[in-house]
Amino acid sequence: MSPFRFNAHSLVHVTEEEKDHICPHCNKAFPAKANLRNHIKNMHEEVDYHVCEICAKMFKSKDFLRHLTTHSDEKVEKTLPCPICGKLFRYKSQLNHHIERHNDSGQVFRCHLCNKEAPNKSALQKHIRFVHIREKKHKCNLCESAFKTPLGLREHMATHTSNQILYTCLFCPKQFNSNANKLDTIGTCGLECEEFSKLTTSTFAFVPLVIDPPVYEVEVPQCDYSVPLIVGGEEAKPSEFPHMAAIGWDRERDNGIDWNCGGVLISNDMILTAAHCTQTRGVAPKYIRLGDHNLARTDDDSDPQQFTIKEIIRHPEYRSVSKYNDIALMKIDGRPRLGKFVRPACLWQSQNINYTKTVATGWGQIDFSGPKSDSLQKVTLDIISNHQCAPLFEINRRLQQGIVDTQMCAGYLDGGKDTCQGDSGGPIQVVTPGNICIFHIVGLTSFGKSCGGANAPGVYTRVSAYLDWIESHTWPGQ
C-alpha cells in the first residue's frame, strides 16, 4: 500500500489511552481529528441533499445553488471588485480569499519552533501541525532516529541491513524497492486491490512430523468461489460475488423499491455502474443494497446492508442519446462492514485481456420475455474481439462510430447465454490465479440486441479505458 494508506492503517493500532479526540455528542474517542470529523458528519449530522433535475448530481444547499449556474447560458457576472487591485469576482468568498493573499504578500511566515520560512500562512500552519505537533513515537533501536509512522521506521530499518525491503506486485512476480515505484506501475486502484485481497485469505501454520521440524505458514483462500458454469446461466451462491450491488428506485404505488440496475463496490464507499443507470424516466436512483442474494427474501443466508446514494458522478462525455462512455460512479452515505458478504472488487488494469471467457452476474431477466430474477444469477460468456463483434452491429444514430476501443463484447454467438434487461451496470469479471477470491472487473453491462440470441453478443463498457477517471473520483489526491 502507499505510505499515505499505511499511515492511515497504523491508526487502527492506537490504544484507547492514546485516542485524545473526543466526540462532544457521544464521548467516543478517536486517534485523529479527521476520524472525529467523519464520525460527527456520518453519525450526528443530518444533511439534506438536493438532486439536480438536469444532470442528477447531488449537492448540499450552498453548492447546489452554485452548480445550477453551470447549466445556465447566462453566467453569474463578476460584479465584486477588489479594493486593492480592482479585479472582479462573482462571489464574496472568492473576493475575501483574494484580499487575504494581498494581505499576506510581503510578510514573512516563520516557524517559531525551528525558524523555517513558509510561503504563506496556510503552509506555516501545515508545517507546524505535521512536523512539530505530531509526536515521533516509532523509535529505531539501533540509532537515535524516530518516526511518526510504522512505515517510516520500517523503511529506515532497511538501511541498517543488507536486505532492502521489496514490494511484490499482486498481478505478476515483479518486485520493487519502494511502494512509489510500484504505484507508478500498477496505479492507485492496483494498490487498493492488494489491500482488499488481504480480507480473502487466512494464514495457517503447520509442523511436519520430523525431528526439530520447521514451522511452515501457508495462506488459504477464504471464500465461496466455485468454478462457474441471466440467460443460459445458473443461480450464484450467497457471498460468491461479494462486490455485487443492487441499485434501486422508489416505487410510489406501494412504497417499495424497484431494483432495476446492478453495480460493483470498488472501494469503501463507491459503486461503479453504467451511466444509463443514473436515471429512469428522469428519476435518479436512491438506494444501494450490498451483500444480498435474493432481493425479495430475508431467509437466503445473506447479510444485506442498504445505503442511500449520496452523490452520482456520470462520465463527463456521456450523452443519453449515445451508447458511448456509459460509465458512472455512485457514492453511498456510509461505509459498509467488509467481510464474507461485502468486499470490493479489483479493476482490470490492461487494455488487453488475456482470457477467453468471463463471468457475468446480475438480477436481470432469465429469458427475453421472462421476469427479472430475485436471486443473483451468473453465466460464463466468451470474450469476443472487437474485430469480430463490430460487423454484428449496424451504425445508427446512437452508435455512430460503431464498436470502439472503450467498449468490448462478450456472449455466446450460437445463442443461449447472455446478460439481459435488469443486468445493466452489472459487471463481467475474471479471476486471476494469484487469488481465486478476488474478482477483477473487465467490463460493465451496457447494451445488446436481444437476450441470448444468435450472433447478438452483449456490449460492455471497457473498464480499463477509464481508470484515470475512476481513480480521480474514488481515491482523489493519491
Q: Which of 424, 440, 446, 464 is catalytic?
A: 424
* Cα 98 to Cα 83: distance, rounded to the nearest angstrom: 11
Say how many C-beta atoms besides its own lie within 10 A of residue 315's C-beta: 20
Length of the chain: 478
Which grid coordinates are listed for 384? 469476443
| 196, 246, 254 from 347: Cα distances, Å | 12, 19, 38
Question: Residue 149 is inside which H or E element, if any?
Answer: none
* Cα 338 to Cα 46: distance, rounded to the nearest angstrom: 24
Q: Which of 243, 276, 315, 440 is catalytic?
A: 276
Query: Per-residue DSSP letters for 427-478?
Result: EEEEE-TT-TT-EEEEEEEEE-SSSS-TT--EEEEEGGGGHHHHHHHHSTT-
Q: Residue 31's closest CA among 44, 42, 20, 45?
A: 20
Q: Residue 290's closest CA among 351, 355, 376, 358?
A: 376
Catalytic (active site) residue 424: yes
Say how many C-beta atoms besides its own lie within 10 A of residue 329's C-beta: 23
Strand partners, 194: none
* Cα 193 to Cα 426: distance, rounded to the nearest angstrom: 19
For residue 339, the 8-state DSSP code is S
For 97, list phi and psi in degrees, rounded to 5. -65, -40
Cα(first)–Cα(last) distance of the chain, in Å?
Answer: 11
Report residue 136 CA to chain centroid gap: 32
* Cα 433 to Cα 438: distance, rounded to the nearest angstrom: 10
**Contact call for residues 285 and 278 (beta carbons, < 8 A):** yes
For residue 294, the 8-state DSSP code is B
| 118, 147, 298, 471, 478 from 180: Cα distances, Å | 27, 19, 45, 16, 11
| 20, 325, 400, 403, 475 from 396: Cα distances, Å | 63, 16, 5, 11, 37
Catalytic (active site) residue 50: no
State the burial class of residue 155 (Cβ atoms within 10 Å of its Cβ: 0-12, 13-18, 19+).
middle
For residue 51, the 8-state DSSP code is E
Amino acid present at 160: H
**Contact call for residues 149 and 138 (beta carbons, < 8 A):** yes
Q: Which of 269, 292, 326, 418 is catalytic?
A: 326
Catalytic (active site) residue 326: yes
| Residues labelled catalytic | 276, 326, 424
